[in-house]
Structures are given as C-alpha cells and as structure tokens.
Amino acid sequence: MELELGEELRSFRDEIRTFLADHRIEQLAGIDPQLGYMGAEEDDKSRAGAWREWEAALAEQHLICPQWPAAVGGRGLTGVEMAILNEEFDREGMPRVIRGMGESLVGPSIIVHGTDEQRAHFLPRIIEGTDRYCQGFSEPDHGSDLAGVETRAAVDGDEVVVTGQKVWTSGAHRANTMFTLCRTDPDAPKHRGLSYVLVPMKREDGSSNGIDLQPLRQMSGASGFCQEFIEGARAPLFNVIGGLNNGWRVAMTTLGNERGGHATTQHLRYEREFWELVETARKQSCTDDPLVRQDLAWAYCQVELMRYSGLRLLATLAAKREPGPEASVNKLFWSEYHKRFGNVAINLVGAQGMIRPEGAGYRTDHWQQVFLGSRAGTIFSGTSEIQRNIIGERALGLPKEPAVG
C-alpha cells in the first residue's frame, strides 16, 4: 500500500531526486545523519571538508530545517513533503543535515510563541549550526510531572538568574544552550508561573555560567545523559520565549513536536535495523529455527504497522486535518516495540551477547547496545505509563487515574 502523491508531490519528489543525484558526495554516503546535529568535523575530521560542502549545498536550497516557514529560512514543507524528503535521502543513502533539538523542538516553539525579534535572532543561528541545544526539563523529583519543576528563575534587571537542578539531559556535554523550564512565580498555581528560558551554558568570554555539568554513566557504558547543578546561571530577558510566566504553553508546543515529529518516516530506521538482524541470523545459521523465524516475523509485522501508521498520518496531513492523539500512540508503540526487539536480538546472538568486546572502558557491540539502550525509549520523552494515561484520559475519555495519597 502506498499513498497516491498526485502531480504536485511527484514533481517535488523528482526535484529532490535530481538534487541528490547532482550533489551526491560519496565520502558521506551511508554515514549517520546525527553528525549534522553535533558537527561532523568533531566526530570525523577526515570528512569535515566534505560535510561543509554538503551543508552549503543544502543551505542554498533551504533544505536545512526545511519544514520551517520560508519567512524564517526554511522551505515551508508540509508533513507529506517532509516524509518524501526523508525517504529520498534514505533511498540515496545521503544524510540530511539536521540541527537536533534546535530544529525539531526549540525552533518550532520560537516560531509559534516568539516575538519577531526573537525569531530573527535565534532561528538563523539554529540553521547555521551556531546554537546547539539540550533540554532542561526533567528534575530529580519531577520527571514526568513536568509542571512540578522547582528550578527557580528570578528577574534581575534585564536578566533572569536561574538556580536549581536538571537531570537526564541528552547531549548536554556538546550543547552550548539549554532550553529550560523554570519557576518564575512560586506563588502561582502549578501550571502557571513557569517560564521557558534559553540559558547559555557558558558566558561570552568562555567562563562558566554557573552550570556544573556532570555526565551520567548508563548501563550501556555510554554517558549520553548529564545532570546539571545550576547556581546563578544568567540569561537575558530576551531569551524568555512566550513571555514570563507563560512557559507551560511553550513547553507543550515543544513536547508535541518531540513525541510525534517523525511518525511518518521513523519506520525507515527500524526497517534497516530489522534487516541487519536478519543478516545476523543468517551468519548464525539459525534462520531455520522456528522460534527465530517467529520472532523475526513478529518484528517485521511491527515495522510494517509503523509504516502503515505513518501512511495514515500522511493521509491526515494531506487532507489538511489536524492529527489527534497520534503523538502519544506513536511514542508508546515504537518504544515498547524497540524494547522487545532488543530482547529478540540479544537472544538470537546467544551466549556471545554476554561477552563485551576487548578494549578500554565499558565497550559494547551493536546488538548489546540495542538491547541496553532500547530500554531508555520507554522512559524519555514521557514514560509509557504517562502515554497510556494521555491516550486513556484525553483520547478515550476514561476517568483520570486516582492521585496517590
């Protein structure tokens, strides 16, 4: 089953195919597009020149942050066009230059809630890769209960001064700005009195901005998350998006993009991973094992369900209808799938999966990383329990879960 594109969308697809064929850089074929988030030159200096050339080609065609409106530097691509774009980049094996949380979370929130001056200042810096963001939402005592944050921000002249603690901050060690939710009016009701502030990680002279950043080691051995002890971090009032005490509305825009932004094309990633596991099964000479075949058939069906769900969302977008609870349904589905897929993969590998590769540090091979890392998906961006509550209460109209105590 495929979505009938129509003449206009077929023309757009052909344009992207022609661009990719004309500008293909073999040195970059097949690399991780996440390099565009944190800077390819920092991960592989041998490709830095090729990456800069690729960035320039994409920027000329406004294909960096292309879903943003043309007025702020994007191309105003619709959800359907973005799905086509991602599919064509994947088909060609070339990486999209993506700007991580700046592109997918902060930018859309600034576009909706920022002033003209804020849009003119912050959005070009995201497109150019100047500002790299991390998310300062979760706290030690307030993870899924986002409205309960205790980090304070006090107004001091034309600045806000932030004090508190944040945790589970992805990529904080490589970001230069944190978008954080702070309490600016402690006497206001729980969901009010919050502000959405863009806080520099360091001052302009390179000195600390009162943020003590500490990496957190995960069970996979990686340190992709950090915690931050914030003592007097300063940000201009200009960096408050949506106005003081109006941060909850801005945060909801951010979370809406976080949980459902890639639903139309995310099956591509899991499809590639599935066929990698099939190839591993062939090397293990276990493709005739009925239990292995059953597990692989299950995984294939789940990925196909993701694809069909994405097509349904595309049809909704193409008809110019607003999506419903798809963001929470999608987040719950892929995260629970991937956790079980990790079990399938490590069971298929067998006893070898218990042995770490040789080398310094806590090294893990590919399938060990999938097994361990997939568990995080049911926690970050709203736990599975929270997603079920949202679906049950807001989509199905079921009674609210009783409050504890």
Q: Please report, in tens digits, the pLDDT of each residue of the chain (405 residues total).
A: 455 667 888 899 999 999 999 999 998 988 766 554 444 445 567 788 888 999 999 999 999 999 999 999 999 998 778 888 988 898 888 998 989 899 989 999 999 999 999 999 999 999 999 999 999 998 988 766 778 899 999 999 999 999 999 998 888 888 999 999 999 999 898 888 999 999 999 998 889 999 999 988 777 677 778 899 999 999 999 999 999 999 999 998 887 665 444 666 778 889 989 999 999 999 999 999 999 999 999 999 999 998 888 777 777 766 666 566 677 788 889 999 999 999 999 999 998 888 888 877 778 889 998 998 898 888 877 788 888 988 898 888 899 888 776
Residues 204 and 299 in one domain: no
Domain housing 46: 6-98
Q: Can you give the CATH number for the domain in which 296 is found? A: 1.20.140.10
The verdict on residue 192 lying in a domain is: yes
Residues 315 and 354 in one domain: yes
Domain count, the chain: 3
Whether the predicted model's global pTM rises above the 0.85 cut: no
Residues 160 and 271 in one domain: no
Q: What is the C-alpha separation between 75 and 156, in angstroms, rounded? A: 39
Beta-bridge partners for 282: none
Q: Work out the angle at residue 234's Cα, subtended by the Cα atoms of residues 231 and 239, and round it to the nearest 5 degrees.
A: 135
- In degrees rounded to 5, what are phi and psi of residue 72? -115, 15
Q: Is the dihedral of CA 361, 362, 366, 370 positive or negative?
A: negative
**Final residue belonging to a domain, choices 81, 98, 115:** 98
Is 8 assigned a catalytic role?
Answer: no
> How far, CA to CA in Å, does 231 sit from each of 194, 245, 295, 330, 383?
18, 21, 50, 37, 29
> How far, CA to CA in Å, does 46 sit from each of 27, 105, 154?
9, 30, 46
Q: Which of these is catalytic: 258, 322, 326, 385?
A: 258
CA atoms within 13 A on the CB side of 297: 8
Q: Which residue, among 294, 173, 182, 281, has the nearest Cα to 230 in the 3D structure? A: 182
- Tokens 């600390």, residue? 208
Residues 272 and 166 in one domain: no
Residues 345 and 233 in one domain: no
- Tokens 């943020």, residue? 211
Q: Can you give the CATH number for the domain in which 141 is found? A: 2.40.110.10
Q: What is the C-alpha separation between 181 and 158, in angstroms, rounded? A: 18
The verdict on residue 110 lying in a domain is: no
